[in-house]
Structures are given as C-alpha cells and as structure tokens.
Amino acid sequence: MSADRIHDRIHLVVLFGGQSAEHDVSCTTAAHVLAAADPNRYRITPIGISTEGEWALATEAAAALADGAHRLPARLDPRGESLAPSLVLGEAADGPERTVVLPLLHGPMGEDGTVQGLLELANVPYAGAGVLGSAVAMDKAMAKQVLNAAGVPQARYRAFAEHQLTPGLPAELADELGLPCFVKPANMGSSVGVSRAKTVEELRDAIAYALTYDEWIVVEEGITGREIEVAVIGNTDPFVSVPGEIVPGDEFYSYDDKYVNDASVGLVPAALTHDQVATVQQMALDVYRALRCEGLARCDFFLEESGRARGFLCNEVNTMPGFTPISMFPKMLIASGFTYPEIIDRLVELALDRHARRRRNTKH
C-alpha cells in the first residue's frame, strides 16, 4: 500500500499521557509527533489520559495544531471534557475517514497490551505491536523466557514475584549473579525503578524500591560493556536501522540520565565493525520476531568485548520507544534515510496493513 493512497482520508488519533510513571515522557513524545505529523495528510485529534485514567480531548494541543504545529506547547495539557474510552474510539471508528491510533503511551496501562486490547475490540487500526507482543515485551521476566527459548544471548538473571521474596534471597542472588548487579521492575520502562546494587544491603533496598513499581522483579548480573541500540520498523518484512550507542553520564543509563540531567550521549551511528553491525542487526531481527513485535521497536544490547560473552547480549525491547529530541529510535531511523514525518507516515501505513491482515484472519 503506497503512502499516496493511504493518506487521502486519515483521522490520526494521538493517545498520550497515561497512568504509568512514564506519563511525562509520553507527553513529551506526543508533542514532537504532533509537531511533525503533516496536517495536510491527517486530521489530528490529540487525546490525553490522566494519571487517574481519565480520557480527555487535549484542547490546548488541538487549538495549537489549528494555528500550526509551531504553536504546540512544550507540555501537553490533557484537561478538558472527560470522555469514556469506548465513546471516543467508537465515534472515531464510525466516522467517514479511516482512523488510525498512535498509542504513544509508555509503561503499564498503555504499552503492555491493555490499550492494544481495547483498540482491537473497537476495531480501530493502531500503530505498534499487538496485544501479545506488547504484553510479552513489556514484561522483562516473560521476555527473557521467550528469548531464552529462541536462543538469544542474554545476561544471567533471576526473576521472582513479591510473594517469593525471602530474607535470605538477596544474599543468594549476590552469590549467584555477582555484585554489582541490577534490579528492575519487570513491567516498567525508561529505567524507572531501576537500581545498581554493589552490596547485599543495597540489593535488599533495591528490591524493595523496585517492588513499589511492580510485583515482579528481575535481577541481572552487571555487564561491563557498551550499550548498543537498534531501531526496527515494519510488520512481516521489517527494516533494521544502523546501530546507535549510548554513553551514559551516570553509573548506568538511568531515568535522570535520560530525561533530567541531559548527561548521556547518543552516538549514531555506533562505532562498530562491519561484522559487528551485521551481527547486531540480525540479532535485532531475531528478537523482534521472537517477541511478536510489529510496527516498531527499539532493541537494546550490551556489547561485551571481553569476559564471558565477548559479543552482543540482548538487554530489552521497547515496543513504543520515545520520540523526544534525545530519543535514539528516531535518530537511528533518520541516520538510516528516513525523515521524522516519514517515520509517522510509515507507522500509519503499517497500522492499516496489520489491521487489514488481522481482520481477514478473524472473520469466517
């Protein structure tokens, strides 16, 4: 399906905000996507979701779009008339235009298959992975199990639920995985809730902190290596970008390092050999397919150039990566030949393609 054919009557619904700890990151992502989307190709409706789960038309953003994308505020205000999600999506699906939803939601209650399931029931095309791919990739513990089964190299780890935590478990994990190690909530992104533990006591505190974000925890061995990322965009025949590299300004690529201190550096393309580029691109494809990703994803790796692995280890996969000015996903695609508006156009095309394919398979 060509871009020229799909854009004649497209109503683009941009969902942003959400109930997770990544609410602010989502708002920033939406502001940049709204500014880049071509108003001559799309009728754009921004819908904000509050941290309490209320859906509302983003009246400030909509008014700014009417005056031109340059008028968009730095932060989108979702306040307005509160709407039921079913009403919003039902009206969108029944309109004269083809509707595509960009669920620019990061973290739980948005990136984890919940909103994707709602959109499937509403019969509305949407960008990104489906229910299964979104849910599995969001849950780091389940994603690691799937990638293990697919033979993808990873750091050593242990995953457990809050009810499985015992007083002796932190010391056991330190013996098994070594120190320092990393503690992560299973269902969270943007490094929210992540800690680096250098002692057993720090490990115990890090587990308690991560449990404030999720009831499932992943503890990983510390890897000394470079942080390499790859953008993937596509459905059945995905395109893989040139790799990029993150040089953290903190002990690791933390939330503050990403969004507060502006201390990290993103290098695109990464300084890799031809063989290393080919290897990590193929691994990104393998990971993308193993986790049932569609539409887009950012695949993150460690390059351990010495020690046990001496190669690439998959860290995690983000099925709705950020689109902020510092975000690596658009940077890597732009370095691979895309423009920012072309990325949006491609995601719309992929959403329509996937929706048509899924509906063929579910109607008998």
The closest of 303, 294, 297, 321 to 153, measured between CA atoms, is 303
Q: Are 188 and 20 in contact (CB under 8 A)?
A: yes
b/e map of 132-165 (b: 16 or more CB within 10 Å)? Answer: ebbbbbbbbbbbbebbeeeebebbebbbbeeeee
- What ranges make up the beta strands (E) of 235-341? 239-240, 244-247, 265-267, 295-304, 311-318
> Is the CATH number 1.10.10.10 carried by domain 137-153+224-335?
no
Q: Where are the alpha helices (DSSP H) in 95-181?
A: 114-121, 131-138, 140-149, 169-177
What the block records as the tokens of 159 is 């995953």
pLDDT of residue 259: 47
Which DSSP helix (H) or strand (E) runs through 262? none
| Alpha-carbon dihedral angle through residues 189, 192, 196, 200, given to the nearest 10 degrees | -110
pLDDT tens track of the chain, all 364 residues? 444 444 467 999 999 998 888 888 888 889 889 988 998 899 998 988 888 888 887 877 777 666 766 666 666 776 666 666 765 565 555 566 789 999 999 988 899 999 999 999 888 999 999 999 999 999 999 999 999 999 999 999 999 999 999 999 999 999 999 999 999 999 876 578 899 999 999 999 999 999 999 999 999 999 999 999 999 999 999 999 999 999 986 665 444 544 454 567 899 999 999 999 999 999 999 999 999 999 999 999 999 987 665 699 999 999 999 888 789 999 999 999 999 999 999 999 999 999 999 888 766 4
Query: CA 320 to CA 104: how far, in whole Å?
Result: 7
Q: Is 211 helix (H, G, I), strand (E, B) or coil?
A: coil
Cβ atoms of 339 and 245 within 8 Å: the answer is no
Element holding 320 (H helix, E strand) = none
Model pTM?
0.88
Residue ranges per structural domain of the chain: 3-126, 137-153+224-335, 157-221
| CATH topology (fold) of 157-221 | Dna Ligase; domain 1 (3.30.1490)
Which stretches of 240-312 are DSSP H helices?
255-259, 274-290
* 3-126 has CATH 3.40.50.20 classification: yes
